[in-house]
Structure 1
Amino acid sequence: MDFFNSALGRNITFIRPAYFILSGFIGLSYMKYYYVFLFFVYIVSVLGNTAVMAVIYLDHNLRTPKYVAVFNMAFVDLLGSTALVPKVLDIFLFSHYSVSYNDCMTFLFFCYTCLSMQALNLVALSYDRLMAIMFPLHYQTKVTNRSMLSLIAFLWVFVIIAIFITVGYLTRLSFCESVVIKSFFCDHGQIFKLACNDNFPSFLISYLFPFFFHWLTFTIILSSYLCIAYALSKVASVQERAKAFKTCTAHISLVVIYFIPILITFTMQANIHPNGRIINLSLASVLPPMLNPIIYVLQTEEIKISIKKLIKRRKQSRIIVK
């Protein structure tokens, strides 16, 4: 981030602490059991998302735009869980509460990048469902693997630039007094509040971030489903409506699991106890990556068929070897 600050002038000096201290959960008993729970969630997330990525990669029938987005979702969940949970366990389970300044900025960058990309990936999936139901005859020409890859690549570039700017403004802050972050990770909102110089850009970002990556994305997804509902209302057959809606159930489940806890936390954070906010935010960060692959395996017929084929092929190969 040095070149980011060089644009401000070479004579400006920022007071950067050697480290930050993460306070985590204050005054709560038996927290080690919660960290064991996080470890269990992380293991399930890694196994589940790795399995989904492997199935999509191995089955050529799943090389479709929808599963390109699902593959990216599994990759983001895997990356996000790996960026967050092992570090949290190291900090609190083994009492390594201090995090160096550079490590904290890096920690924040990866956590916020993955959290933001999870939301935007749900938008990409809603776009796929919208086009499939509203334009079924032209879906294969309008939504291709190339167009979905281009959309996902654009979203990745956009998110990385946005979070890079967010972290860049944090590096412009001076920390003269407290270095205690009242959170379980390097939380942007908790860091800029510790600054002793002008933190207005970071303050503004703290409002723009949830508005754009949470409220706006949720509104876009909700609008897409209103359009889908309108399109389905024009379908005469009840069976056809049910069949079309069934293709959306997995995505709707992911949207509910991801957005509801986060929106509640950000909407009611002023009335929530700090420990309650931290627990809600931690669960909202770790549970979706664990539940997403389970939901797609249970609610998506194509993946279940693909898994059965792969298992059958594996058994046949063992019989041939014997």
Structure 2
Amino acid sequence: MAGANQTQVTEFVFLGFSHILQGQAFLFLAFLTVYLVTLLGNCLILTLIVLDPQLHSPMYFFLGHLSFLDMCYSSVTLPKILVNFLRQRQTISYRECMAQMFFLMSCAGAESSLLTVMAFDRYTAICKPLHYTKILSRGVCISLATVSWLWAIMGSAVQSSLVTNVSFCGDNQIHHIFCDAPPLLKIACSDTYISEMALHTASVIMGSIPFLLILISYIYILLAILRIRSDTGRRKAFSTCAAHLVVVVIYFGMGNLNYNRPRAGYSLEVDTLVSALYCILTPMLNPLIYSLRNQDVRGTLRRALGHHKKDNASPRAQTGVD
């Protein structure tokens, strides 16, 4: 963090909730509920995938990574927000802010990369079903997941360096609810033009390449589905993509709204709402979408709950006594 030696600012103040004078306790409970649902929902899906052999396939391998990532994603911002509500001081130190920004952008990059890999998985399953297990072998799946994480970390390191190299010497009030690159550059006291252009270019590359690859995958998937003659086959093919497609639309749609909307005409309240939807609610929605749309996940959950109820109702069955 070389920029820390060049700045007089030691902490930042979040203004995202400054307009809400009443209802701080309600907001704390609301964000706490969202955080707990996010952790429990994603942890449940991850546990089911690990424990059920029927879910040991490439599709659920990547879904497990996505669930783990969503837990990390929400943990980057929500704990600090909750602590600030309890302290009634919306502040964060310089070093904590830079670390939060780095991990936030790492999670965002990893999510877009994993969604791209999951689109390739669906493309392979529908367009090349006879070669599915050969193309997506265990080694290939591990390699794709590793590349997704490394791609995100490298991109985040580049973008974070653009922010840490500018100076903050006066205004320390961030018009946001957590540390992110665009609002930080707005309050820098040094020239940020080059950093803003480089950051925008890096963001476009990190976001556009995955989205373009997902779009190409779904074009091929759609063409393959249209060639299926039976209605049952088409519905089954569509159902295998529905949950992933919904998550893609929500994630990239909210990401585009959060980072690429015009600056003029938006208030602090709108910025706060959009940021909360993108970085806080999206990780909570993903497990709900997959559990509601995915028959395998629902079936595994029913079997787990049914087995648990059976064990509780008939302890003699565990010993084999009739």
TM-score (norm 1): 0.90
Per-residue CA distance 1:232-252 (angstroms, 9 max, x = gap):
122222221111111001101
Letter of the 1:272 partner, please give it. Y
Letter of the 1:128 partner, please give it. D
Per-residue CA distance 1:160-191 (angstroms, 9 max, x = gap):
12212222232221122211111100121111
Name the Cα RMSD after superposition. Answer: 2.1
Query: 1:44 pairs with 37, 47, 50, which one?
Result: 37
1:167-316 → structure 2 map (5 Å cutoff): 167-270=160-263, 271-316=265-310
1-structure distance, mates of 2:73, 2:180:
15
SS of structure 1 residue aligned to 2:89: coil
Structure 2, unmatched stretches of 5+, are none
User: Equivalent residue for 1:9?
Assistant: none
- Contact kept in structure 2, 1:16 and 1:101, CA below 8 Å: no
User: Equivalent residue for 1:21?
Assistant: 13
User: Equivalent residue for 1:8?
Assistant: none
- Shift of the 95–29 alpha-carbon distance from structure 1 to 2, 3 Å rule, reads closer
Query: 1:68 pairs with 30, 36, 61, which one?
Result: 61
- Shift of the 79–184 alpha-carbon distance from structure 1 to 2, 3 Å rule, reads same
- TM-superposed CA distance for 1:16, in Å, is 4.6
- TM-superposed CA distance for 1:27, in Å, is 2.4
- TM-superposed CA distance for 1:25, in Å, is 3.1
* Residues paired across the two proteins, number: 314
Q: Does 1:105 align with 2:98?
A: yes
SS of structure 1 residue aligned to 2:13: strand
Q: Does 1:156 align with 2:149?
A: yes
- TM-superposed CA distance for 1:200, in Å, is 3.6
Letter of the 1:306 partner, please give it. T
- Shift of the 218–34 alpha-carbon distance from structure 1 to 2, 3 Å rule, reads farther
Per-residue CA distance 1:102-132 (angstroms, 9 max, x = gap):
1111111122211221222111111100111
SS of structure 2 residue aligned to 1:247: helix
- TM-superposed CA distance for 1:45, in Å, is 0.6
Per-residue CA distance 1:255-303 (angstroms, 9 max, x = gap):
1221222222333342322320221111111112111111111111111
Percent identity of the aligned residues? 28
- Contact kept in structure 2, 1:20 and 1:100, CA below 8 Å: yes
2-structure distance, mates of 1:150, 1:13:
39
User: Equivalent residue for 2:117?
Assistant: 124
- Shift of the 63–201 alpha-carbon distance from structure 1 to 2, 3 Å rule, reads farther
Per-residue CA distance 1:5-61 (angstroms, 9 max, x = gap):
7xxxxxx96225211122223424545234432221111111100100100011122
- Shift of the 294–13 alpha-carbon distance from structure 1 to 2, 3 Å rule, reads closer
2-structure distance, mates of 1:224, 1:41:
32
1-structure distance, mates of 2:35, 2:177:
16
Letter of the 2:152 partner, please give it. V
2-structure distance, mates of 1:155, 1:17:
34
2-structure distance, mates of 1:190, 1:89:
21
Q: Does 1:80 align with 2:38?
A: no
Structure 1, unmatched stretches of 5+, are 6-11
